[in-house]
Amino acid sequence: MHLEKLSPHESAAALAATEVGKAHLCPNCATEVTTRFCGNCGQSRHDHSRSLFEVARELLEHHLFLDGKMMTTVVALLFRPGRLTRAFIEGRRVRFVSPIRLYLFSSFAFFVALWASGFAMIQFHVPHDLVAALSRDGSAGQVVETDRSQGADTPIIEILRPARDGEALPDAVKSRFTLDDDIQSAAKDSAGARKLVDFTGRLTDGFSLALAHPRALNPVIDEWLPRLLIVTLPFTALLLALFGRKRRLYFVDHVTFALHLQAFVFAVGLVVIGVRLAWPTVALGWPLFAIFSVYSYLAYLRTYPGNRLWAGIKLGIIGSIYCLSLLLGIIALLVYGVSTLPGA
């Protein structure tokens, strides 16, 4: 059989003109190729010297993962809790996108949408009653009265609320967190004490700035929250392994479950952003809690089949430990973010 070696610019036209199954030499490794991909090096027979439209299509399909396999994976992730993890454990993996690619895609899409929407992911509001309680004289001090229906008495921390311009922390409240003059004078003799005093001042000023400009924390949150979530992945997998040690699963199986669960959180976050854009004041706290609870339970039960009651108890313990650790991480992240705000 005569084997024709194709040049990079002639391969597309030659391939289109030849019959399916005719052998060619792979331009990369010179191995005989009769299928779509080279069996030796894996290179596609399709030529990469093509139109701009083809380049854009490949970018969307292979780099942004918007192909048929991704659509199948997303549908299974959203509407079949635990199916992706169970398929991975049982070795049925070719039909779905790998867990790490799915996690990267969902997190990338979420944070891009968050950036485009301009939402303050974590937004501070100080209720009037709390301001009055913190004031030394029991009054609201310099607080400017605002309409309560516009969020004056909403929770101190809100997730994915449209950012509203607020007001700086009143001097009456700031004075509660300011060290006395005697303490500041004594601190001048100690380098450690001076750093503590400076840090306390930056926190107070930064929190005041965050109140007045809720979006000010977005860059810090967007930069560090993905890293925090990545750090919690092996911790979550460790908890799953401890409570599922009799399942004879590999640690990577537990990591896969954590990846799929966080990918679902990002997917729901995209929906939340859309809902907030359409209906800014709609309450989503309890509905989201119910969705995450039911989804996590069904996914856990499919991945770790067994007694339903015992599965719920174990998942509750795992979820409580995870939420506590995540909360501590977010608090540390907020303290760092507030202390590093420009002008703090």
- Greater model confidence, 338 or 126: 338
Q: Are residues 248 and 300 in the same domain?
A: yes
Pairwise CA distance, residues 315 & 243, whole Å: 9
Q: Which residues pair with 120 in a beta bridge?
A: 161
Q: Are residues 14 and 89 in the same domain?
A: no
Q: Are residues 140 and 236 in the same domain?
A: yes
pLDDT of residue 84: 95
Q: Are residues 160 and 210 in the same domain?
A: yes
- Greater model confidence, 268 or 46: 268
Q: Are residues 133 and 197 in the same domain?
A: yes
Q: Are residues 20 and 83 in the same domain?
A: no
At 178, is the secondary structure helix, strand, or coil? coil
Q: Which domain holds residue 23?
A: 4-50
pLDDT of residue 158: 58
Q: Are residues 37 and 79 in the same domain?
A: no
- Residue 162 · residue 121 · CB < 8 Å: no
Q: Are residues 26 and 111 in the same domain?
A: no
Q: Are residues 26 and 129 in the same domain?
A: no
Q: Are residues 8 and 107 in the same domain?
A: no
How much is the mean pLDDT over the chain? Answer: 74
For 23-38, write each residue's pLDDT tens digit: 678 877 878 887 778 8
Q: Are residues 13 and 41 in the same domain?
A: yes
- Greater model confidence, 320 or 284: 320
Q: Total domain count for the chain?
A: 2
For 201-243, write each residue's pLDDT tens digit: 777 777 777 777 767 777 788 788 888 888 899 999 999 999 8
Q: Are residues 236 and 281 in the same domain?
A: yes
User: Which stretches of the chain are DSSP H helices?
Assistant: 11-17, 52-58, 68-79, 83-89, 99-117, 128-134, 171-174, 181-187, 191-212, 218-243, 251-278, 285-303, 308-339
Question: CA quadruple 304, 305, 306, 307: dihedral positive or negative?
Answer: positive
- Residue 166 · residue 212 · CB < 8 Å: yes
Q: Which residues pair with 122 in a beta bridge?
A: 159
pLDDT category at 1 given cuts 50, 70, 90 is very low
pLDDT of residue 9: 43
- Quote the percentage of the chain above a pLDDT of 90: 24
The whole-model pTM stands at 0.70
Pairwise CA distance, residues 327 & 318, whole Å: 14
Q: Is the pLDDT of residue 81 over 70?
A: yes
